[in-house]
Every structure is written in structure tokens, then in C-alpha cells.
Amino acid sequence: MKPQTRKTYVSKTVAGLKPSGIRRFFDLASSMDGVISLGVGEPDFVTSWSIREASILSLEQGYTSYTANAGLLELRQEIAAYLRRKFHVDYCPETEILVTVGASQAIDLALRAIINPGDEVIIVEPSFVAYEPLVVLAGGKPVAVCTSGEDKFQLNPVHLERAITERTKAVIICSPNNPTGTVQSRTELEAIARLAEAHDLLVIADEIYAELTYEGEYTSMAAVSGMRERTILISGFSKGFAMTGWRLGFAAAPDEILQAMLKIHQYAMMCAPTMAQYGALEALRSGERDVAEMRNSYRRRRNYFVASLNEIGLPCHLPGGAFYAFPSIKPTGLTSEQFAERLLIEEKVAVVPGNVFGQSGEGYIRCSYASSLEQLQEAIKRMKRFLARL
Amino acid sequence: MKLSEKELEIIEILEKDARTPIDVLAKMIDLPVEETEALVRKLEEAKVIVQYTALIDWRKADGREGVTAMIDVKVTPKRGVGFDEVAERIYRFPEVKSVYLMSGAYDLSVVIEGRSMAEIAQFVSEKLSTLDSVISTTTHFILKKYKHDGIVFDQGDQDRRIVVSP
Ligand SMILES: Cc1ncc(COP(=O)(O)O)c(C=O)c1O
């Protein structure tokens, strides 16, 4: 006998997730011609030839089978050496490093490995769009802590402390940040560290943009005193090495946590793609010069773009890293959605409305300056025209 | 000449795109326009910036495609002036685009541009080979330019990225 009504097959958790606000803009922008896109969250460089070549060679030599679950040992050793060289942190390649399918998978694994139902995870907002849903999918409860443009989006430890409860398990921080480009200062990191120690919290540190830091030396959360034991360091090759399509990232964490992540990874994923791992090996061995050149190029474009935004009346702090500018659109009186939508339709410039990254992103838009200088100049011209008309 | 950080930035940017507008350049290196202008002028006067040229793909100009040849030249160096004198006699010809003193199997590498193979052949046999100190020449014609001075010709440089991404 057939049941009268068909039940919904989708889980309540998934049904309850809101679709990504980025998706909506993607659909709108893709349906139009001649759009200058400042909406892209990825480098405009093609992966260096030597990296592509190394991956091709691995295919030619027939390295087409699974690797160890945690990734090629050779690659993990190279990652350990890289972390030591760059951030002065020591991880054991055998037990404390895991090669993942993008930083995305590493974040998912970290959350699934640590969350008990109902645990709270603090997310510093504005934030990368995946954190909140991934916390929910892992059975946790996301708790937002807002930062504001007035503080150049630096996290205020007092606000963080207020959000901590009995149930808080971890804090996710991202520096340099997507979407604000803000780099957390060493002082702020130390303040966060002290709170993490006092309340026995883990810190999930998304450091995927660390290579794209423009001023001073980068401080990794794991390098802050006392933090190696309570940090899950997440990074990857997508942004710094211009390898987004390769889907390769990694996590470094104390043995116990990393082994828990590995357990999930080995059942859910087996291992990251082999040819991508060979490419990554080459990236770490010989990519430094190319990375430095790309960083220089982003820095110059940042200088141009942010100065121009300020000039045309969209006040913007100078972001210390990543390739995003996050100007305020408050002077226009429009919401970030209205602004982005009208700018797209009237002037064909795609930007991402700030509210997509959490409530505290309202009043801002995210503009990626990973575009050619000519495109940036044209975008500024169009935005200026748009503002003059408002 | 020891260049400052900002001067190095200027020449790196202008080497990639000599037409970068001065106000854009100034913003990129975070200096006022007047100061940037002064630095550029200084670099020009010091001949650090030697010239601003355009890289032309002549194949696209019908009837003007032209021919380029690289000629390996062996010479007898002269006492006192070494290779410099003969090099100068060669580089003074307007059809000569570049002249390099080389190590190895021959002495000078000479790049010639002409309208046709015949024109180049004539230059080599009448002008170059007949110079006193020239012992021999070997002419290589360039069939196709893939990359020149770091620039790839006809690169598929369209943006393959999707319009909006996380
Ligand atoms: C902050 C942040 N973390 C992680 C990712 C995902 O990186 P991957 O391509 O390595 O999965 C992104 C991509 O936009 C990001 O902005």
C-alpha cells in the first residue's frame, strides 16, 4: 500500500542550513555578460609551471594509486619542514600532520573530531562562509563574536570572553581573514591564547592566507606560547601557491586530535588525490620565489585598489593580508545586498555583499583585488560613476 | 647605482607595463604623485630606464610580417680593442637589432630583422661577411616566436575563474 504523503528525505539538519549567499550572487552575475568580477575568492594566477610539471611527471611515471591515508610521508615531512621554517612550530610528520582535500576538508574534520552534540564553537565574524554550516553539520552550536570596522576587524578579547560558556569547545579564527583581509596582531593572538588556556578551549586556526601577509612577519597561533597543544592549524595550497583547483590542504595538530581526524578521513576520503600531492611536494620545495612574486603583485594592487576606494568615497582600512578589500558602504545608506545588486545590474561590477559573512559584515562589501590592474581600474571607474548617481 | 625600495618597485612595475598611469603607479607604491614622477624622471635620467618600447606581434600586420635571423659570427679580435671595434661596426647597421659577445663556439651573436629572407641574405653576404675581421657567419632564421623577453605571444589569457566564489 502506498503512503498518502511522501516524507521528506532530506535530514532536518541539512534542510535547516541556509543556502550560501555567495551562491545567489553567483547565479545572478553568471547570467550577465561583460561583468568585471571582484567576487572571486581565489588567485588570478595559474599554478606555477614547475608545480604543474611535477604533477604531470608523477602521472607519466604511473603514480596513480592511493597514498597513505595521512598523505605521502614525503609530503608530510616537507610540510613539517615548511611549518618549522615559516612559523617556527614543530610537528611530527608521522603522527601530527594530515594531508586533506583542501583546507575545507581539514576544517570539517577538525570540527567533526572534537564536537559532542550541543558543544558551542565560537566563530569570529565576519567569517568565511563555511564555518557556521560545518559546525552545525558536526552537531555543534555556532556562536558568533563580531568584530567591527572601527577596530579594523581585530578581535576584541573582551567580546570573546563574553561569548565563552561552559559548553564552549573551540574558537575558529582566520588570519589573514576572508573577507576582511585583517591580520590578527600578535598581541591579540596572545590575548586569545590566554583565554583559551583559562577556559580550556581549542583554537582552530585557519591560516590558509598566511603566505599572503604583506607587512611584518606572520605569527601562527600555534607558535604563541602554550598554544601548540590546543591549536589545530589549518592551511593548504589554494591561495598562497595559486592551487585552488588541486583540492589540497593540510592540518597540523597534537597527536591525539590529529589521529581522531585521521580516523574520519580514512573512512570518508581514504586519501587526498595523489597527483595533487606530488604537485604540492614541488610547491614546497621550489615555490618560494613564485609565491614572493605573487605576494608582491597582490600588495601593489592592494595599495592601488584601497587608496582608490577611499578616494571615491568608500572608506576602507588597509588590509594586512589575503586579497580582499572590505570597504564600508554605509555612507550610501544602502544595505550591502542592495548595493551589490544595484552595482552588478547598473554597472556590471560583481562584489559580494558583506552580510553573507555574518551580521557584522552588514554595511560592507567584499572586493577581491586578485584581478588585473586594468580590470581594477575599470571597476573603480564604474563604481565611482555608480556612487555619483546615488 | 644603489636603488631604493620604491625605485625598485617602480622599475618592476614599469618593466611589466610601461604604460601604467602615473597616478596608478603612485598608489601602487604608496607615494604622492609628484614624488613618484620625480623618481621616474631620475630613473630615466640615470638610464636605469633606458627606453619605453612596445612588443609588437608583426605577424598580425599584413604585409609587414618581416623575418628575423640570428647570426653566429666568428671574428679575429684586434689588438688593443679586442672585440669592441668589430662589434661597433656591426651594431651601427640599422637592420641589426642586437649584438652580444658570446662564450663558446662563436664570438658574436647578431640579431637581424629584415623584410624578407633575401634582404637578410644580402645583408649577410654584402655587409657582414665582408668586414675585415669576420672569419665566418652562420645564419639561423627564426620560424616562429613563442616567447620573447619573458612575454608569451598569443597566450590564452582569458580568466577561467567562475564569477563569484568563496
Ligand atoms: C578562510 C578560508 N579557509 C578555507 C578556504 C578553502 O580553501 P581550500 O581551497 O583549501 O579548501 C577558503 C577559500 O576560500 C578560505 O577563504
- Over residues A177-190, mean pLDDT: 96
Q: CA torsion B26→B31→B34→B37, rounded to 10°?
A: -50
- Over residues B111-134, mean pLDDT: 93
- Over residues A244-273, mean pLDDT: 98
Cα of A104 vs centre of ligand 1, distance in Å, is 6
pLDDT at A152 over 80: yes
Q: Which pLDDT tens digit goes with each residue over A104-113?
A: 999 999 999 9
**pLDDT on residue A31:** 86
Residue with cell 555556532: A142
With an 8 Å Cβ cutoff, are B166 and A129 in contact? yes
pLDDT at A75 over 90: yes
Shortest CA gap B22–chain A (Å): 11
**pLDDT on residue A1:** 64
Nearest ligand 1 atom to alpha carbon A42: 14
Q: Cα(B36)–Cα(B43) distance, rounded to whole angstroms?
A: 11
- Tell me B123's DSSP state: I
Residue of higher predicted confidence among A19 and A206: A206
* A296 contacts in chain B (CB < 8 Å): 12
**pLDDT on residue A7:** 78
Q: Which three cell numbers, joined as nine digits, stand for A355?
A: 552580510
Does any ligand 1 atom lie closer than 6 A to the CB of residue A193? no
Q: Which three cell numbers, joined as nine digits, stand for A155?
A: 578581535
Provide the ipTM. 0.85
pLDDT at B78 over 90: no
Q: Which three cell numbers, joined as nine digits, stand for A385?
A: 560613476
Residue of higher predicted confidence among A2 and A279: A279
Q: What is the strand order of the sheet A365-368 is part of?
A: A324-325, A365-368, A352-353
Facing B162 at nearest CB: one of A26, A130, A352: A26
Cβ pair A358, A346 in contact under 8 A: no
**pLDDT on residue B166:** 84
* B164 contacts in chain A (CB < 8 Å): 22, 25-26, 29-30, 37, 39-40, 350, 352
* Residue closest by Cα to atom 13 of ligand 1: B166
* A26 contacts in chain B (CB < 8 Å): 162-165
Q: Tell me the percentage of chain A whose pLDDT exceeds 90.
A: 93
Q: Cα(A175)–Cα(A146) distance, rounded to whole angstroms?
A: 15
The per-residue pLDDT of chain A, averaged, comes to 96
pLDDT at A2 over 80: no
Does any ligand 1 atom lie closer than 6 A to the CB of residue A29? no
Does any ligand 1 atom lie closer than 6 A to the CB of residue A279? no
Helix axes B5-16, A288-312, angle to 10 degrees: 90
**pLDDT on residue B82:** 85
- Give the mutation target among A208, A209, A277, A366 for probing the ligand 1 site: most ligand atoms within 8 A of CB: A208
- Measured between CA atoms, the residue of chain A closest to residue B24 is A304
- Residue B79's pLDDT band, with cuts at 50, 70 and 90, is confident
pLDDT at B36 over 90: yes
- Over residues A83-100, mean pLDDT: 97
Residue with cell 612575454: B151
Q: Cα(B89)–Cα(A170) distance, rounded to whole angstroms?
A: 76
Beta-strand pair A36-37/A349-350: parallel
**pLDDT on residue A3:** 67
**pLDDT on residue B151:** 84
- Over residues A371-388, mean pLDDT: 97
Q: Which pLDDT tens digit goes with each residue over A312-337?
A: 999 999 999 999 999 999 999 999 99
Q: Which pLDDT tens digit goes with each residue over A20-73?
A: 777 777 888 888 889 999 999 999 999 999 999 999 999 999 999 999 999 999
* A304 contacts in chain B (CB < 8 Å): 24, 27-28
Beta-strand pair A141-146/A120-125: parallel
**pLDDT on residue B81:** 78
- Over residues A268-282, mean pLDDT: 98
Calculate the alpha carbon distances from A83 to A86, A175, A220, A226 in Å.
5, 16, 9, 17
Cβ pair B90, B108 in contact under 8 A: yes
Q: Cα(B145)–Cα(A311) distance, rounded to whole angstroms?
A: 43
Does any ligand 1 atom lie closer than 6 A to the CB of residue A238? yes
Beta-strand pair A202-206/A231-236: parallel
A to B CB pairs, distance under 8 Å: 61
* Residue closest by Cα to atom 16 of ligand 1: A178
B162 inside 8 A of chain A by CB: yes
Q: Which pLDDT tens digit goes with each residue over A291-320?
A: 999 999 999 999 999 999 999 999 999 999
Cα of B46 vs centre of ligand 1, distance in Å, is 46
Beta-strand pair A120-125/A168-174: parallel
* A300 contacts in chain B (CB < 8 Å): 9, 13, 28-29
